[in-house]
Amino acid sequence: MNFNVDNLVKSPLNYTGGKFKLLPQLLPLFPSKISTFYDIFGGGANVSVNCGAEHIYYNDIIPYVSKILEGMKEEGSIKKVLNVIDTYSLSKTNLEGFNKLRFDYNNGNDSWENLYALIVHSFNYQMRFNSNHKYNSSFGKNVSYFSPTLKSKFLKFAERLNNLDIVFSSKDFRDVDYSDANENDLVYFDPPYLVSCAVYQDGKRGFKGWGEQDEKDLLSLCDKLNKQGTRFALSNVLESKGKKNNILINWSKKYIVHYLDTDYRNSNYQRKDRDSKDIEVLITNYYKDEPVSTKTIKKKAPLYKKRK
């Protein structure tokens, strides 16, 4: 696809593992023309809204995220958010208002706009739930609030959503129907990384975790897509903090591995070994604008050499 970096739109959701910074590297590796783009681990939808596809199928296993994005697409979505902020007098200093909204949300007033207002006033703008799916992020005192910059980001993102042919779902990746996906489509996977330490994949916060069996099931699904002639692209890391994902490394040898120039040393305040680097990749079963072919994959070398 052809794209202008200045036209990229960033999600107003601060979603762990978001790919916005990598879009200038990812998008040129996508096919120039995509009929339907399947964003299976959609998260904040940074890839979905910038992929340039004719149709978009967005999916994320966490239903709250899909619900927020659907809400943002509604007419007058910004007014709903501003009304919540005004009703609870939310700011970066009003702890009482934040606690009142969190209480109301956890006791039945669980609209998407209430949840979004909570998120943008939470510590580090992060969405967190306990094992009973009660919202439990702490207040982002003196830092988190619906700033003019965030409001502008929200408006641009909502406008982009309104111009897209996009549908939303919330399923396990194994339950998505891929039977109609063909050579004109692209199925994109950005799963939790098996060798990373992201809190959203530990299975302790009311949502399903991510383990070796999930990894194997996903790679098996990619093999099935390849056999049916459907293009896929998989974002992942081969190594993180010195820990290798041997399952992925061995499997990837039969496909095309594009090494990305990335550095997440400053992305997680909890990381102690900030000098270690992740080896992040995009694995595809196609070369740009060439049909899926096992012979093509075997006879050509990867487009990018491994970083030293």
pLDDT class of 14 with cuts at 50, 70, 90: confident
pLDDT class of 278 with cuts at 50, 70, 90: confident
Three-class DSSP category at 280: strand
- What does the pLDDT read at residue 276? 56
Whether 214 has a pLDDT exceeding 50, the answer reads: yes
- What does the pLDDT read at residue 201? 47
Closest CA to 78 of 144, 149, 163, 155: 155
The mean pLDDT value for 271-298 works out to: 70
The mean pLDDT value for 124-140 works out to: 93
- What does the pLDDT read at residue 18? 80
**Exposed, middle or buried: residue 240 (CB in 10 Å: 0-12, 13-18, 19+)?**
buried
- What does the pLDDT read at residue 289? 72
Whether 303 has a pLDDT exceeding 60, the answer reads: no
- What does the pLDDT read at residue 200? 47
- What does the pLDDT read at residue 16? 72
Percentage of the chain lying above the pLDDT 70 cut: 85
Whether 306 has a pLDDT exceeding 90, the answer reads: no
3-state helix, strand, coil in the chain (%, to 5): 35, 15, 50
Output the pTM of the full model: 0.88
pLDDT in tens, 67-115: 999 999 999 999 999 999 999 999 999 999 999 999 999 999 999 999 9
The mean pLDDT value for 258-277 works out to: 57
- What does the pLDDT read at residue 299? 43
Whether 188 has a pLDDT exceeding 90, the answer reads: yes
Whether 138 has a pLDDT exceeding 90, the answer reads: yes
CA geometry: angle 229, 225, 284, nearest 5 deg: 85
Instruction: Specify whether the CB–CB gap between 105 and 118 falls below 8 A.
Output: yes
